Amino acid sequence: MNTIETENSLGITFCDRLELAFTHGEGSLVWDESGKQYLDFTSGWGVTCLGHSHPVIIEAINQQASKIIQSPNAGFSYSPSRAALLSLLTQILPAGLVKTYFCNSGAEANDACLKLARKITERRKVVSTLGGFHGRTFNTLSVTRGTDNSDRYTPRQADTVFVPFGDVAALTQAIDSQTAAVIVEPVQGEGGVQIPSSDYLAQIQKLCHTHGALFIIDEVQTGFCRTGSFFALEQSNEKISPDFLTMGKGIAGGFPFAAFAVSDKVAAMLEKDDHGGTYCGNPLGCAISHAVVSFMLDNDIAGQVRDKGKYLLQKLQQLHKQFPKLINATRGQGLLCALEFNDHSLTRPVTLQCAKAGLLVVPTRNGILRLLPDLLVSRETIDRAMTILGTVLENYRGQECT
C-alpha cells in the first residue's frame, strides 16, 4: 500500500483530507511524494511561522537533542532551557503577566486556564463567543463555536454561555456575579478571521473587573507576530492586562509546544497539585521556542508581518474587485487573512483546485478561505499565490451569485 492507502486503512481521521502526501519542505514551499512543488499558505494552520525547516530551528533541535530531550522526573526538576525561555518571554509578554507554564498544545493551555479559573473563583459559569475556537478537549469544546458544537458531547456543560463575537451589549447582559471567566480570541481564526473593534478587549476587561470574573485571552493562533505584533491584544486602543494569556502554534515554529501566562493575582492563588503534565516545559521544546522567539526579536518579524500583511490584503482586495459576484468580503490582520465567498459551497472545490494548481490554503466554515503563509514569506511568493488563486477563481465565473 502507498502512504494514502495505508493511512486510510490503518489510521483514524475526522476530516476530509487532500489526496496528497508531503515529504519535505523549505521556507514557503513543500513537495509531495511525486516531487510536485506547492506554495504553502497554511503554515500547518499557523505553526510553521518561520517556514519549513528553518536553519535556526534545525540547529536548536540538534543542539538540545544531543544534550537531553526530557528531564528526569519531568516537571519535578529544573531545566536550564526552561529557565532561559522563561527569561526571554519577559521581553515580549504584555505587562502584568508574571508567571508562565508550558504545555503541549493550545487546547491544553486553554483547558488548564478554564479549570484554574473555576477553582480560583469558585464559580462555574464561563462566557464565550459564537464562532470562537479554543480546542478539542472536552473542556475547550464546551466553549468552542456554540451550542451546535458543545451539545454534541455529553454531559453538556450547562454553565457555558455564548454571545456574538464583538457584541459588547450581549456581553454586558451575559457577565454577572456568577461568571468565573470570559474566554475570547482577539481575532477569531477558525471563525473566519473576524476582527472586532479596537475597544472590544478593553470593554471585556472592564466588565470582568466589575463582576470579579477572570479574563482569558486566547492568542494560540494570533500570537507570536502572526497579526503584526507579538500579541494581537497589543493592537487594542487601551492597555490590556488579562488574567490568563494562552499561547501555542507559532511559539515553537512547528514543534508541538504551548504555554499560558498569568497575572500576579492569579499566580498568588495557584497551589500545588492544581495542574501538571509529563512533557510540560520539556528541554527540547523550550530550546526550540527560545530559538524561534529570539529570531523574531532579532529580525523585527512583527514589523515585517505588518508590511507583508498589508500587501497580501491589497492583493486579496484586488481579487474582490475582479470577482465581485464570487467574493463577498476580504479581511485580514497581519498575515492572518481571509476571503469570503458569496456561495459557501465554493470553499471546498476552490481549495481542491488551488491545491491542484500548486497552492495550499485553509478551508473554513461559512464560505471562507484562510491564508496563513509563513511570516518570512516574500512578496514574490505572495504574487505567485495570488496569480494561482485568481486563475482558479476565473474558472468559477459561471457560478457567480446574482
Phi, psi of 333 (to 5 degrees): -140, 115
Q: What pLDDT is recorded for position 393? A: 97
Residue 137's CB is within 10 A of a number of other CB atoms, namely: 16
The domain spanning residue 379 has which CATH number?
A: 3.90.1150.10
Each residue of 76-88: pLDDT tens digit?
A: 899 999 999 999 9
Same domain, 294 and 346: no
> Where does a domain end: 273, 298, 323?
298
Torsion of the alpha carbons at 116, 177, 218 and 307, rounded to the nearest 10: -150
Grid coordinates representing 201? 478587549
Same domain, 254 and 316: no
> Where does a domain end: 251, 283, 298?
298
Grid coordinates representing 259? 504555554
Same domain, 282 and 215: yes
Same domain, 35 and 117: no
Given pLDDT bands bounded at 50, 70 and 90, which one contains residue 398?
low
* Mean pLDDT to the nearest integer, 298-309: 98
Same domain, 115 and 210: yes
Same domain, 290 and 307: no
3-state secondary structure of 258: strand
Same domain, 114 and 30: no
Q: Is the pLDDT of residue 402 over 80?
A: no
Q: What pLDDT is recorded for position 399? A: 61
Query: Does the CA dihedral 59-296-102-192 come out positive or negative?
Result: negative
Each residue of 304-349: pLDDT tens digit?
A: 999 999 999 999 999 999 999 999 999 999 999 999 999 999 999 9
* DSSP bridge pairs for 341: 327
> Where does a domain end: 257, 282, 298?
298
* Mean pLDDT to the nearest integer, 278-303: 97
- Whole-model pTM: value is 0.95
Phi, psi of 217 (to 5 degrees): -105, 125
The domain spanning residue 72 has which CATH number?
A: 3.40.640.10
Q: Domain of residue 342: give its range.
A: 3-54+300-399
What mean pLDDT, rounded, does the chain reach? Answer: 94
Q: At what angle do helices 55-65 and 283-298 cross, to 10 degrees?
A: 150
Rounded distance, CA 207 to CA 201, Å?
10
Residues near 12 by Cβ (< 8 Å), separated by ≥ 6? Answer: none
Alpha helices in 277-398 (DSSP H): 283-298, 301-322, 347-357, 379-394
Worst-scoring range by mean pLDDT, 121-130, 168-177, 232-241, 273-282?
Answer: 273-282
* Mean pLDDT to the nearest integer, 180-185: 98
Nearest residue to 251 (alpha-carbon basis) of 237, 234, 231: 231
Same domain, 307 and 294: no
Q: Is the pLDDT of residue 55 over 80?
A: yes
Same domain, 153 and 44: no
Rounded distance, CA 186 to CA 194, Å?
9
Same domain, 268 and 149: yes
Grid coordinates representing 351? 481549495
Q: Is the pLDDT of residue 223 over 50?
A: yes
Same domain, 263 and 395: no
Q: What percent of the chain has pLDDT over 70?
A: 98
* Mean pLDDT to the nearest integer, 168-192: 97
Given pLDDT bands bounded at 50, 70 and 90, which one contains residue 378?
very high
Residue scoring higher pLDDT (52 or 155): 52
Total number of domains in the chain = 2
Same domain, 127 and 264: yes
Are 222 and 232 within 8 A, CB to CB? yes
* Mean pLDDT to the nearest integer, 141-155: 77
